[in-house]
Structure 1
Amino acid sequence: MTKFTDLGLAEPLLKALAAEGYETPTPIQAQAIPHILQGRDLLGAAQTGTGKTAAFALPMLNKLLATPRRLSPRAVRVLILSPTRELAAQIEASTRAYAQFTTLKSTVIFGGVPVGKQIRALGDKIDILVATPGRLIDLVDQRAVSLREIEFLVLDEADQMLDLGFIHALRRIATLIPKERQTLLFSATMPKPIREIASAYLTDPVEVAVTPVATTAEKIDQRVVFTEQGDKPALLAKTLNVPELERAIVFTRTKHGADKVVRQLGQAGIEAAAIHGNKSQGQRERALGAFRDGSLRILVATDIAARGIDVDGISHVVNFDLPNVPETYVHRIGRTARAGAAGIAIAFCTPEERGDLAAIEKLTGVKPAPIGEVPYWDGRTPKKPQPNRGGGRGQQQARPQGQGRPQGQQAKRQDGKRQDGPRSHAGGASRPDRTERHEHRPRNAERAQRPDQGQPRKETASAKEGLGGVAFLQQRTQQPRTNGARRRAH
C-alpha cells in the first residue's frame, strides 16, 4: 500500500502529515500527487470527502519549497479559488496545517467581512492566496493584490462556481494571470460545461477520476420518505430525536426555509442554528464553530454548506427539500461518511418532488431505499384523496326532507315565518316536494314545456356579466316593468 513517504514529498511536509495523523494517502491523493509534482495540468474528479485539498496542496507546497523566489509587493505565487466562504476558509486552514513546519505563508479573502483587515494581511509576504472570485476581483481593482506572478492556479469545486454565476469573474481572472502556469481543476461532478471550462484553462491535462463521476460514498445508507409538504416539520422533529444521531445537517432549498425550519425545531424543543447567504459572516462562523465543537447537534443550511463543511462525526444528513440540481444531492450527502466512516442520508420527497428524485437516481445510479416510517416515528405517509370527478344533475342524490340544510338555516327560516315543511301557494294546496316532482315528471317533458331551461343557468349569468355598464342599463330599460305596474295597481 502506498504511503506518503513513497511520494517524494519534502521532510517538513511529511512531518506535518505525521502531526495531523495522516500516513496513507487516499486514492485521489495517490494518483494526483505524482502528476502534479511532474508539472502537469490536472483535471481531478473524485467524490466529496476523499481528500482533494491535500491532493493539490501537498505537491504545490513541495514545489514552492524546491524553488524559493523573491516576490514583488502584494504578489502571490499560488491562487486557489473556491465558491463559498466556508470552503475557502477550510482550504486555507488545511494548507496552513500542511505548511506549519515551513516558512510559507497563506491567507484567505472572501466577502461578508470588512476589507481592511484583508488588505493589511496581503501587505505581508504571502505565498498562497485562497479566495472567492467576487472579493478577489474587488481587491484586484483596489490594487491590493497582484496576480502577475502566479505560478499555480487551482479551481476547487468548479462546477459550483458555475452554478453560482462566477463564470464572468473566472474569465476576467484568467486574463490577469500568466499563461505560463500550472493549473489544477478539481470537482466531485464533471458536467459538460465544466469540461468546456477545463479545455480553456488547462493545457494537455492529465485526467484523474478515482470513482465514477457523481457517485456517492459507498458507506452512506440512503433512504427516502414519501410524505406531504405539511407533514415535513413533524417528520423532521421525530427523525432528529433518534438516539443514534450524533450530529446532523438539514438542507433546505431557500434561506427563508432554513430559518423557518429552525423555528419549527425550536417549538419542538430541538436546538438548531441556520447558516445561509443572509447571515453575517460572524453568525455563520459562530454556528459552524458550535457545530464543529459539538455544542450544537443540528445545523440547518442551504447549499452554501453542501461543500466546505468538513466536520467529523456527522452521522445524518437530511434533505428537507430535494435539490433541483441532482449533482447538488451528491455534495449534500457527502457531508457524512467522511474519512471512511459510515453515515445515513434521509430525503423527504413530496409528490411534487418525484421528478427531482428521479433525476438524482438517474445521475447516481443509486435508488434510495423507501421507508414508510423513520425509527421512533409512528406517523404514516398520508394518502392523496381521490379527485372529485363531479357529475351531472342525474348523479346527484336526493336529500331527505329536512336534512338538506344546516340547523342554523332551519332556525333562521322559522324565525322569518318560512317553514321547511311543504309550502302552500294561492290555492292552499301543498306544493309537491322537488324530489317527487323530478321522480314523477320526465326530464324531457319538463324541457318541452320550459324551453328556456335547455341552456344552463351559468350561461345566462355570464352573458349579463359580459355586458358593459351602458349596455347592461339599456337592456334593463327595455324590459317591461310589470312588477312595478302591479304594485301601483294595488
Structure 2
Amino acid sequence: MSFQSLGLSEALLKAISKKGYNTPSPIQSKAIPPVLEGRDVLASAQTGTGKTAGFVLPMLQILSQKESLRNRPVRALILTPTRELAAQVFANVKEYGEFLDMRSAVIFGGVNQKSQVAKLREGVDVLVATPGRLIDLQNQGLLSLSKIDIFVLDEADRMLDMGFLRDIERIMKLIPSKRQNLMFSATFSKDIKKLAHGILNNPVQVEATPENTTVEAIAQKVYRVAKDKKTGLIIKLIQDGGWDQVLVFTRTKHGANKLCKKMISDGITAAAIHGNKSQGARTKALAGFKSGSVKVLVATDIAARGLDIPLLPHVVNFELPNISEDYVHRIGRTGRAGASGEAISLVSADETTFLRDIEKLVGERIPVEIMEGYEPDPNASTEPIKQGQGGRNRGRSSNSGRNSGGNSRSSGNSRSNSGRNKRSSNR
C-alpha cells in the first residue's frame, strides 16, 4: 500500500513526500478512501498512529476540488478539546496543504482574540478550534459556520470527558445539516457511540487496532513505592538513567508545580504545563522541551492528547490517572511512529485499584519492580484516592467543559465576565 494508491492528488503527495512519509499507517489506509468517497467515518486509532493525516489529507483534497466561494467562508471545521491539540492539527493542515490554494486558521481561548479575528476576516477554508472560543466568536458575530461542508470531531472521547457535550450539541445546530462528518478518537465508550449516532449518517467504522490497547513498542513497568518517596525515586531514575527527555504526568496542577520546583532545586531542568498556565508559558515550556533545553516536562492530563514529540523516549506516571483510558493516552506520547519507548508508573498503595483497572483495560499485567531504599509502605491503606484528594472532576456538564478554558473577552456583565475568565485559565 502506498499513498499514491489511496487516490491522493499530486499536490498532497508532494507535501507527504516532503515530510518523509512513504507508507500510510493502518488508520490512514483504512480511513482515507471512504472519506474521499464523501462517506461519514467513525474511526478508532491509538495515539501516535497518524490519525490526523487520516482525516486532514482527504479533507484537503475534497475542498481543493470544489470551487472556492467568494470571501472564503469556513468550509471545514475541526473541533478539538485542547489548545495543544488544536495547534498540532493546525500545523498538520498547513504542512499537508502547502502546495494547495487553501487558507487555514486556528482559534482557542487563553489568548487575545484580536489576531484570530483578523485571520478570520481574511477568509479561511479550514478552521481548527476549541469549543469555547468558537462559540464565543460566533456569539459576537465574528464567525459564521453556515457554509460548513466537512465537520471533524477529533478526540471525541476527550471532549466528553472534559464536559463539552452541550457545547458540541450547540455547535451542531450552527452548521448545515447536509455535510460530511468525521469522528476520530483513540477510544470509543458507549457515550461516544451514542454521540456518534446523533452526528454521523450511515458511517463507515474503521479501527486500526483493538480499542484501548497500548502500543507494542512501549515497554511498560511499575515501581511500587511509598507515596512520600515518589519524588526521590523519580529524580534518581532520571539522574542515574541519564534521561535527557522525560514527560511526567501528575494528577493535579498543584502537584505538577510542586514536583517541577523540586526537580529544579535538584539541578534538573524542568517546566510544568497545565491549565492554569498562560498560553505563552505553555508554548514556551513545550518549545524548550522539544529543543532539549528543558529535560523534564511535568504535565496534567490536559497534555495527554495533542503533544506531538518525535522519538520521546520516556513517559512517567508520577501518579496514575483515576480514569483508566487516560493511561493509554499518556503513555501513547512515547513509542510513536514505530519508535520504541518506555512508560514507567510510580504506584503507591492508594493507587492499587487504579492499577488493577488499567491492567484490565489494556488486557495485560504490567511488570512490577521495587527499588531498594524506595520500598512501598506495608502499613499504607489501599483505599483509592478520593476526588477531593487529587482526582480530577470528570463531570459531563456544560460548565465543567467551559471551565476547561475558553475566551478572555471582557465585554458583557460581570457574571458573564466571571465565567469567561474561568474558561480562559485552562483551555
Q: TM-score, normalised by structure 2?
A: 0.87
Residue 381 of structure 1 pairs with residue 375 of structure 2:
yes
CA shift for structure 1 position 367: 1.6
Structure 2: distance between partners of 1:172 and 1:229: 43
Instruction: Give the length in aligned residue pairs.
Output: 381
Contact kept, 8 Å, 1:265 with 1:272, in 2: the verdict is yes
The Cα offsets for residues 3-51 of structure 1, whole Å up to 9 and x where unpaired, read as 1111111111011111111110000000100010111100000111100
Root-mean-square deviation over aligned CA pairs:
1.3
> In the alignment, which of 188, 191, 212 is matched to residue 189 of structure 2?
191
Letter in 1 for 2:102: L
Contact kept, 8 Å, 2:348 with 2:376, in 1: the verdict is no
- Partner SS for 2:239: coil
Larger radius of gyration: 1
Which aligned pairs between 1:403-422 and structure 2 lie closer than 5 A? none
Q: Relative to 1, partners in 2 of residues 1:243 and 1:350: Cα closer, same or farther, differing over 3 Å?
A: closer
- Partner SS for 2:205: strand
Question: What residue in structure 2 maps to residue 42 of structure 1?
Answer: 41
Structure 2: distance between partners of 1:128 and 1:252: 34
Question: What residue in structure 1 maps to residue 321 of structure 2?
Answer: 323
The higher relative CO (CA closer than 8 Å, separation ≥ 6) is in 2
Structure 2: distance between partners of 1:239 and 1:131: 38
Question: What residue in structure 2 maps to residue 371 of structure 1?
Answer: 369
Which aligned pairs between 1:231-242 and structure 2 lie closer than 5 A? 231-242=229-240
Question: What residue in structure 2 maps to residue 60 of structure 1?
Answer: 59
Contact kept, 8 Å, 2:105 with 2:127, in 1: the verdict is yes
> In the alignment, which of 61, 84, 88 is matched to residue 86 of structure 2?
88
Structure 1: distance between partners of 2:154 and 2:256: 26
Structure 2: distance between partners of 1:211 and 1:327: 15
The Cα offsets for residues 401-455 of structure 1, whole Å up to 9 and x where unpaired, read as xxxxxxxxxxxxxxxxxxxxxxxxxxxxxxxxxxxxxxxxxxxxxxxxxxxxxxx
Residue 279 of structure 1 pairs with residue 273 of structure 2:
no
Question: What residue in structure 1 maps to residue 102 of structure 2?
Answer: 104
Structure 1: distance between partners of 2:80 and 2:124: 18
Which aligned pairs between 1:62-461 and structure 2 lie closer than 5 A? 62-71=61-70, 73=71, 75-243=73-241, 245-373=243-371, 378-385=372-379
Contact kept, 8 Å, 1:220 with 1:342, in 2: the verdict is yes
Question: What residue in structure 2 maps to residue 51 of structure 1?
Answer: 50
Structure 2: distance between partners of 1:342 and 1:154: 30
CA shift for structure 1 position 385: 4.1
- Partner SS for 2:247: strand
The Cα offsets for residues 108-130 of structure 1, whole Å up to 9 and x where unpaired, read as 00000001111111001210000
Letter in 2 for 1:57: V
Question: What residue in structure 2 maps to residue 417 of structure 1?
Answer: none
Gaps of 5+ in 1: 388-490
Letter in 1 for 2:378: K
CA shift for structure 1 position 386: 9.6
Contact kept, 8 Å, 1:317 with 1:346, in 2: the verdict is yes
Structure 2: distance between partners of 1:130 and 1:43: 19
- Partner SS for 2:110: coil
CA shift for structure 1 position 294: 1.7
Q: TM-score, normalised by structure 1?
A: 0.76
Structure 1: distance between partners of 2:321 and 2:206: 27
Structure 2: distance between partners of 1:285 and 1:68: 36
CA shift for structure 1 position 241: 1.5
Q: Judge which range, 234-243 or 331-340, deviates more.
A: 234-243
Structure 2: distance between partners of 1:25 and 1:305: 26
Structure 2: distance between partners of 1:202 and 1:112: 31
Letter in 2 for 1:279: K
Question: What residue in structure 1 maps to residue 27 of structure 2?
Answer: 28
- Partner SS for 1:207: strand
Structure 2: distance between partners of 1:165 and 1:66: 36
Structure 1: distance between partners of 2:262 and 2:234: 10
The Cα offsets for residues 371-401 of structure 1, whole Å up to 9 and x where unpaired, read as 122xxxx4241442499xxxxxxxxxxxxxx
Question: What residue in structure 2 maps to residue 18 of structure 1?
Answer: 17
- Partner SS for 2:32: helix
Structure 2: distance between partners of 1:309 and 1:121: 24
Structure 1: distance between partners of 2:99 and 2:39: 26
Contact kept, 8 Å, 1:74 with 1:123, in 2: the verdict is no
- Partner SS for 2:17: helix
CA shift for structure 1 position 107: 0.5
Q: Judge which range, 288-297 or 107-116, deviates more.
A: 288-297
- Partner SS for 1:362: helix
Letter in 2 for 1:292: K
Structure 2: distance between partners of 1:5 and 1:264: 51
Structure 1: distance between partners of 2:166 and 2:72: 24
